[in-house]
Chain A
């Protein structure tokens, strides 16, 4: 059965029909055509589907679309500021923190969620924040560097 859900998606209030037995991951990709949120392991292990729910990073494959009703969801498509890349996105590019790019949207959302409540994270805190995001290409060092560097940019008020 389908249900009406109302929630804020990337800053816009939306109303849509969602099947009860559909995850928010499939809803975003299939119904909203927002394919930046990646479908990886589908059991909460890999972090490729990380989105922000009310400002907190969550695995979209472990949440039903109907549970989004009344909440606020941000995906990788919703983090640009005034037509410019978010500083975390820019630093991922500048520091070569991606290769195939499949883990990148999830990594970036985990990083933004961290930096929003911890503007000056230690390396341990960065690694802990992305511990639920698997990358099979870069080996993480560049990713950690990019997040530390984005923290600096954000602190300087970019």
Chain B
């Protein structure tokens, strides 16, 4: 498969990249790892006149953790760097696990977490865990100061985000887990590698003894965007944890989803798997509570 014609521009600053993206509009595509973009070009799904490569921009490769501000993941930080980072594995194990679920080692050595969410696939493996962790993205804008967009306001539809033309994500900020909090992500797919999720479920929970002080549940791969199962969360918050309560809430989560049918699974099957994997993710999160 050949690539269509385009002009390759290696931006040197984030300002230059944003200005080029604004100027070229629909004709420009911003590239970090390229693992999503190159197949789109080969398949002629996208025919941009310009590829704006970010890899020449300094300062976008950060992977920094502090207890106060959590984890900062730069636009060029690869999924492989995240999944193999000792600090991410110990402080935010579910984030490392979600990064590891993406594709294969070869893809993760190039692909980035920022690219994974900007591509906005309904089944993006890192989207659910970022949603339940209340992550936010920092953007840069051509001729503007940039914005902070919470993940809950980032996904608009299949392959659509709320980024404006000429707006780029420079980093993702993921809050740290505090004492009594835990999180988990489970992906359900036929193969362990190189497969898209039939569904994925992520949970963040804050326990106060045996009581669920707070929780967030996100489901991916079912609807057109990853979504929060708000009614299920509401059922759980403030209650004493128990198997039957969790079973009820998981059933609610599956009622909340508007699943699609496709080659990977029927809508009915997805809905039922949301119930199963919400439960599993919740139990895993409970087993991972920070001391």
Contacts and interface: CB of A to CB of B under 8 A. Distances in A.
Interface in A31-75: 42-45, 47, 50, 53, 56-59, 61-64, 66-67
Interface stretch (A18-26, A97-105, A142-150): A18-26
A133 to B, nearest CB: 8
A61 B38 contact: yes
B38 A67 contact: no
A70 to B, nearest CB: 10
Interface in A121-158: 128-129, 131-133
A132 B8 contact: no
Interface string B235-276: 000000000000000000000000000000000000000000
B158 to A, nearest CB: 19
B54 to A, nearest CB: 11
Contacts, number: 86
B109 A43 contact: no
Contact of A64 (B5, B34, B192): B34
Interface residues of chain B: helix, strand, loop or mixed (majority): loop
B8 A53 contact: no
A66 B8 contact: yes
Interface range, B side: 20 to 34
A132 B6 CA distance: 29
A64 B194 contact: no
Contacts of B57: none
Given A47-B104, A62-B38, A131-B192, A3 B110 contact: no
Most buried by B among A3, A64, A128: A64
Contacts of A45: 194
B110 A131 contact: no
A62 B5 CA distance: 16
Given A23-B38, A43-B39, A132-B194, A62 B4 contact: no
Nearest to B109: A56
A56 B80 contact: yes
A110 interface: yes
Interface string A1-32: 10100000000000000001111000000000
A44 B110 CA distance: 11
Interface string B1-35: 11111111010000000000000000000000011
A44 B40 CA distance: 12
A56 B5 CA distance: 28
Contacts of A129: 105
A52 B6 CA distance: 26
Nearest to B194: A45
Nearest to A56: B109
Interface of A: 1, 3, 20-23, 42-45, 47, 50, 53, 56-59, 61-64, 66-67, 110, 113, 128-129, 131-133
Q: Which 10 A-B pairs rank lowest in CB-CB distance, beginning with the nearest?
A: A132-B104, A131-B193, A21-B3, A20-B8, A56-B109, A59-B106, A43-B39, A132-B106, A42-B1, A62-B38
